A and B are shown apart, each in its own frame.
Chain A
Amino acid sequence: MTDGTPETRFRFLVCIDGTDDSYRGAHYAADYGPEHDICLCYVRPMDRGLRSGGLNLRIARENMMTWGLELPGIQYLKKGRDILIDMGAMGPDWEEQATHVDVEGDPLGDNKIEYIAKSGKKIILKLKVAFNIPDGIIEQTEVAPYDLIIVGASERWRKRKTMSFWDPAVAEKVVDHAPCPVLVARHLDAARGHLLCTDGSEHANEALRKNLFLVTHGNAPVSIMTVAADVESEEEATANLKALHDILTERSITVKDSYVRVGDPAEHITKVGEDYSVIVVSETAKSPWHRFFKGSVSTDVLQKADTSVMVVR
């Protein structure tokens, strides 16, 4: 789907958890243009009996509903929907379809409301049940293909690798296992522009080229950057950056600034990235174990950056 042309209808999965970052994610997705599909998804971890002392939580939930109270997450999804309506991404006359899917182990199951425009464009509110939140997000990408997942950052992201092994943050697990690009949102606002980073590899440039529409976010200012490992390879790095510059120029995208630095890539990227809304990096690890044992620049940038980071594949 992601052929980089704005004529294509893109599908965005925005993970909503009631935080400001998650609503900014909805805003950001809507800013891509009015023709794209947006799924606002709230994942509720599956109720587990031992934790509630052997009394299934469904008893408490059913009791809540007899009082006319809503399931957790519905309020958040409604607020996300209202943001989209306010932005004009959704109209009042759209057709509405509600669906319930039973989920083994949780009788309240998955619930979905689809709002469908005459053009076929969809806004979906999804209340999903999963063993845990990251698994739920990944499962959702298996239910339907998405072009971009937007998920809020977690402070736990910044913990050391040992803590991350014990209990990885939601965004960390989603980035590790998602089949599509992931935007980890931190105070997300496209106004300050996007910083596209490349290591010059064909893999990185191809990932950027393939997701050009996503990484440039409409009319947001674009700057590019590369980091050479040492002074000797600085010339090669400059050539790499030139190659990326050419790719963008080919698509009539104006490059605002270009940066070539020497040293630790993650360190330089996060420092330069401070002035941008989104740092865009491509996933360099070839496999999960490669990432786990050898690490990857994208993971380091995600951990160190104070701004939003998009990882493209």
Chain B
Amino acid sequence: MTLADMSHHRPSLYTQDARTKARNAAEKRFRIYGITAVTLGVLALIVLLTSVLGSGLGSFRQTMMTLPVTLDAAVLDKKGNRNPDEMAKATTITYGKVLAQALEAVVAEKGLAPEGMKAKEIGSLISKEAPAALRDMVLANPDLIGTTIEFNVLANGRIDGFFKGRVTMESAALDSNVSPAQLELAQALRDAGMLRLAFNWAFITNPDASELRPESAGLGVAILGSAYMMLIVLALALPIGVAASIYLEEFAPQNRFTDLIEVNIANLAAVPSIVFGILGLAVFINYAGLPQSSPLVGGLVLTLMTLPTIIIATRAALKAVPPSIKDAALGVGASKMQTIFHHLLPLALPGILTGTIIGLAQALGETAPLLLIGMVAFVKEYPAAPPEGFLDPAAALPVQVYNFTQRSDPAFIERASGAIIVLLVFLLAMNILAVLLRRRFERRW
């Protein structure tokens, strides 16, 4: 082949021939696929988080009204001796009327009511939960009777929805639960400064509320239930997990039996979570007779699920301690147990704790197994203080999200997203703690 022939194929180094062009184009395309994939993944994360945050932030602000409420003794305490047992005869219906009258009085005084609006319609601006709150307050402090107090009442869920854009004049016209006139009145009340959107502490502290009262539904019971379960998981999974890891890492001989344990742990990490729920239902509830929807059963199930995570993390942490430390301890006459408990374990502790926190974070977000052990039940009472409280019915944060999604009122979707924000905040805090622990205590040998 002569030089001239070659120049026929490739006229110059500066101009690419067709094949090089194609290869370079393929290279460029491949790179673009890669960038697109990474972008899509990150984009999915962003869309996911913004969608949930966007629809959930509203639940942290709630429409409230401050009303001057006259607690008339003739209505609320007919016998007049301020005995809470007798006053308890006045039901929430009576208190509801008191509140409705208070609102009507304010509306009439300021002349805010639109033409032709009935008194009943004005009263139903108030949440159905408010009378019970007022009643509890009065029964707890009977001296309030006969005075006029400034009482903060929740507005009805639809009114709340109006100020958050969920309910419009058009949708209200079709809705049997709210009328456009009520919305106009609510707007007038807001303009008059009687009605405002305030930070909603009740969302964090209140128990769940029934289908008709989305405005007062909160996460108190669920947060408490989740906290109880995390306590149980921590108290059981950490010692068992660490003990198992010490045995497997430091003592176990290389034989079939050890292999069996190792395979088991690897498999448990990959068993679908719902299968653990079936185990909990069959063994802890049906066989052992532990109460349904109790944090104890939930905690036990989550313990079994968290164990593999903790064992894997602990073994890695134990492995990372340099053998020289072990040799030195053994060399100065420590027994194997002393070497492990006095030297290896303290040095591996940061890694173990990090793994434990991550395991707990996983357990905190787990939903499916808890559905099967009865955590879906509607629970309005706070569980008692531990240890009795471990057997009381309770909810759990992720299951509460699921419960909210199963209700028809769209206001509960906002609550569900809000609950997820609370859940994510807890998870974020735990993960940051894990990262900080690792940063602060991790040692490079």
Specify whether A and B are partners: no
* Chain B interface residues (CB < 8 Å from chain A): none
